[in-house]
């Protein structure tokens, strides 16, 4: 199954200023997270961020934070425990007040955004917040794609153990370029040249 930009959302997990200096291959990981966010914006894919205990670990690095529609501050390791699922799959708004008493032709229609069930996710630390968030998203029946070259932990061993466990749980393991070219699908895509410039 290929990723479809129209059905995708991007979640960038905990690229926090006080954490990143200790992360294995940190600069490479942040660079790929920024690239993912830029690609998502180019192809109109919503981008969400999370920050673990920001009073201690700081905000996400500015280049990541600016790409996000919203950033969820959390204390649980799984962002789903703190409401990320509601952001990714919002409930339709219920009409309130006197709107229901109006004749049907005068009522405003309830617009439901098309469901985007494919969650592309990347972040730190891979074996803690990324892992727990992804496992909860899978349990909530999202299709989850973990971008391996935009994820890491303080140690390579912890990062790789997370990837093994996530693959076993049903997450798809991909790279930044795989996501980009699957979202594009064709060299005739209107965003192809701009996306290629970001990839190179």
Give pLDDT tens digits for 28-72: 999 999 999 999 999 999 999 999 999 999 999 999 999 999 999
Residue 107 lies in a domain: no
Number of domains, the chain: 1
Residue 94 banded pLDDT, cuts 50, 70, 90: low
Residue 78 lies in a domain: yes
Number of other residues whose CB lies within 10 A of the CB of residue 63: 14
What is the pLDDT of the chain when averaged over all its residues?
92
Residue 10 lies in a domain: yes
Residue 104 lies in a domain: no
Strand, coil or helix: 90: coil
Residue 143 lies in a domain: yes
Q: How far apart are CA 42 and CA 177, in angstroms?
A: 14
What is the tens place of the pLDDT at every residue in 158-170?
999 999 999 999 9
Strand, coil or helix: 128: helix
Kindly tell me if the per-residue pLDDT of 86 is higher than 60.
yes
* Structural domain containing residue 12: 5-89+114-199
What is the tens place of the pLDDT at every residue in 65-76?
999 999 999 999
The CATH number covering residue 133 comes to: 3.40.50.850
Residue 95 lies in a domain: no
Listed in sequence order, the DSSP H helices in the chain are: 26-42, 54-57, 62-65, 84-88, 131-139, 156-169, 176-184, 192-199
Higher-confidence position of 110 and 199: 199
Integer CA distances (angstroms), 51 to 6, 119, 129, in order? 26, 18, 10
Residue 186 lies in a domain: yes
Integer CA distances (angstroms), 128 to 14, 26, 141, in order? 11, 16, 20
Residue 155 lies in a domain: yes
Catalytic residues: 14, 74, 129
Phi, psi at residue 169, to the nearest 5°? -85, -10
């Amino acid at each position: 199954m290929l990723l479809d930009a129209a059905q995708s959302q991007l979640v960038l997990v905990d690229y926090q200023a006080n954490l990143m200096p200790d992360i294995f291959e940190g600069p490479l990981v942040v660079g790929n997270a920024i690239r993912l966010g830029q690609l998502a914006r180019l192809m109109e894919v919503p981008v969400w961020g999370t920050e673990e205990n920001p009073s201690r670990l700081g905000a996400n690095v500015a280049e990541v934070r600016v790409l996000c529609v919203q950033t969820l501050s959390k204390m649980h390791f799984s962002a789903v425990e703190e409401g990320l699922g509601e952001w990714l799959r919002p409930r339709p708004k219920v009409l309130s007040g006197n709107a229901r008493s109006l004749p049907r032709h005068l009522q405003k229609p309830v617009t439901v955004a098309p469901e985007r069930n494919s969650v592309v996710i990347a972040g730190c630390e891979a074996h803690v917040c990324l892992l727990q968030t992804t496992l909860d998203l899978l349990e909530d029946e999202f299709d989850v794609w973990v971008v391996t070259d935009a994820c890491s932990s303080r140690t390579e061993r912890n990062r790789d153990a997370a990837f093994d466990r996530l693959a076993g749980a049903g997450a798809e393991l991909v790279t930044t370029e795989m996501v980009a070219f699957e979202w594009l699908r064709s060299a005739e895509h209107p965003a192809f040249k701009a996306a290629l410039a970001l990839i190179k």
